[in-house]
Structure 1
């Protein structure tokens, strides 16, 4: 059952950040949302057998380097995870309470692992989606950081978050101001495991919950043939260490 101990948080930035994303066979424009929804859900500790399997997968197959975010085998995990359905139901209850009925059931889900995360945005591949993440690991002293919004979310088991894929984000040490690979010593367990859903940004409930404004730059949209994010009309990328926007070279 969800503990709604954090209400939706709204953050405003003055610059115009625009996502250009595929909608069917055409590129559509929208404002990148500066709304982040977060809460803490009551989810059980993963069983020891599953934790051991995740550790083997990470050490033997993924070999996660600091800053890496990689896909984990979900089907195999579910076979060792009797409480998987309970975790999904907790997220479904939470999203339903936020005004997103049934959206989770129709969205793609993946199991992910990260050893921290370099700052990045996902608008060049997932511009048509918002991410809904449920973190499953214990508190490792890491924060999910949205540098443009000045927002840091401590990652603990049950942390849930919904955010725009075009919004820069990273996973960093709680006491740091940016991403530094040296903060993630190999002899320390800084791995976070999480479930992630791709929520369709054009779904009326998702767009409303994140306060997304659509079709804000139709003339530019008609000239593009690839998803991208632009800041005040200029295509940009994210500095992986600071999270600041910079022009595409």
Structure 2
């Protein structure tokens, strides 16, 4: 006779608390990252030069900064830009997520590395979907809690939980070091980004997210009525240098 093991205590898990309509819902934080390297066109030199001018004249990216870029200008000037979006549509369709991009706002982003962080405080109802457009510059997206890193190159596509700590660091590195992004080194990555709704049934299933966990807790933690990430039932922060959780 086999016995079903008891469910893992909710307090031993990460939980995300997010606003859904007029109430706060709770959910698990996914440890699944969907990734692929897609065949996308090389940005022409004039587009890369336009990006470089924008970064140098307006963004002034410091190490660790992640900032939005003018998408409309790139869309208008890059003839092959629609191929990038189509590649993402085909990939997400193959994942069993047909049409998931249609209702999601798209942005063009630039980063010069990224300090470790999570985005669960403001985007707990979302998963991030990114397509990197720059060439390989020796950088990884690193998910330290999962021990997973994904090399960034042109065509790298990702879908991941906003509550999962992540950073952009030197290839193979396990800490964010400003020296890796010193002035004079080309370490800027451009990427398209979509915010996908985790309450979409297909997306929630693909990421293995379980909803309304907190309703099983008795008593409820005082922070259960606030948006954010809880670790062992208490609000937690991510160390920006190591990506480790801290209270």
> So what's the TM-score if we normalise by structure 1?
0.91
Task: Please say which of residues 34-43 and 218-227 is displaced more in the overlay.
Answer: 218-227
Rounded to whole Å, the distance in 2 between the matches of 1:22 and 1:226 is: 8
What is aligned with 1:93?
A: 90
Structure 2: 5+ residue stretches without partners: 1-10
Alignment partner, residue 234 of structure 1: 234
Which of 52, 60, 65 is 2:62 aligned to?
65
Aligned-partner Cα distance in 2 for 1:78–1:85: 8
Is 1:143 matched with 2:137? no
Q: How does 1:165-180 map to 2 (within 5 A)?
A: 165-180=162-177
The alignment's C-alpha RMSD in Å is 1.5
Native 8 Å contact 1:28 1:221 kept in 2:
no
Answer yes or no: is 1:109 the counterpart of 2:106: yes
Tell me the equivalent position of 1:77: 74
Aligned residue for 2:245? Answer: 245
1:8-41 CA-to-partner distances (Å, cap 9, x unmatched) read: xxxxxx9401000010111100000001100010
Greater helix proportion: 2
Any conservation in 2 of the 1:27–1:222 contact (CA below 8 Å)? Answer: no
**16, 23, 28: which one aligns with 2:25:** 28
How many residues of Structure 1 are paired with residues of Structure 2 in the alignment? 234
User: Are residue 123 (structure 1) and residue 120 (structure 2) matched?
Assistant: yes
Provide structure 1 residue ranges, at least 5 long, that are not aligned to the other structure.
1-13
Measured after TM superposition, the shift of residue 222 of structure 1 is 9.0
- Give the Å deviation of 1:223: 6.2
**Counterpart for residue 210 of structure 1:** 207
Residue aligned with 2:122, SS? coil
Q: Is contact 1:112-1:193 (8 Å) kept?
A: yes
Structure ID, larger Rg? 2
Structure 2: distance between partners of 1:74 and 1:200: 22
Q: Any conservation in 2 of the 1:29–1:221 contact (CA below 8 Å)? A: no
Secondary structure of residue in 2 paired with 1:125: helix
Aligned to 1:10: none
Distance 1:50 1:225 in 2: 46
CA distance in 1, matches of 2:197, 2:235: 23
1:112 Cα deviation from its structure 2 partner:
0.4
Q: Is 1:156 aligned to residue 132 of structure 2? A: no
Q: Could you tell me which of 48, 73, 83 is aligned with 1:51?
A: 48
Which of 131-140 and 171-180 deviates more? 171-180
